[in-house]
Amino acid sequence: MGNQSQHRTDIEKLNVLLPYWVNHNHDHIRDQEKWLEKAEKEGLIEVAAELKKALDHARKANHHIEQAGYRIKNEKVSKRYPTLP
């Protein structure tokens, strides 16, 4: 059974990794949001502003990873079932 997992194609691995990365990043985003709130409560205005920017980038990055996941599924389907000329 171990040999089967070693023979997965890179695309199959990517299909597994993309949702994992999204979930993993969501965990980090939630944690960072908590720290942003703490910084705001402590009056660390500039720190909070930078954390907000970082969170915006993290959310955007996660969105693009999600889009990659949707696209890889669609591309796999279109390669399996190409349109006729």
Separation CA 15–CA 18 (nearest Å): 6
Query: 8-57: per-residue pLDDT in tens?
Result: 688 889 999 999 999 999 999 999 999 999 999 999 999 999 999 999 99
Provide the domain count of the chain. Answer: 1
- Domain membership flag for residue 85: no
Separation CA 42–CA 55 (nearest Å): 19
Please compute the mean of the pLDDT values over residues 55-64 and round it to a whole number. Answer: 98
- Domain membership flag for residue 68: yes
Separation CA 50–CA 28 (nearest Å): 16
Domain that holds residue 13: 9-79
- Domain membership flag for residue 3: no
- Domain membership flag for residue 39: yes
- Domain membership flag for residue 73: yes
- Domain membership flag for residue 71: yes
Which pLDDT belongs to residue 75? 80
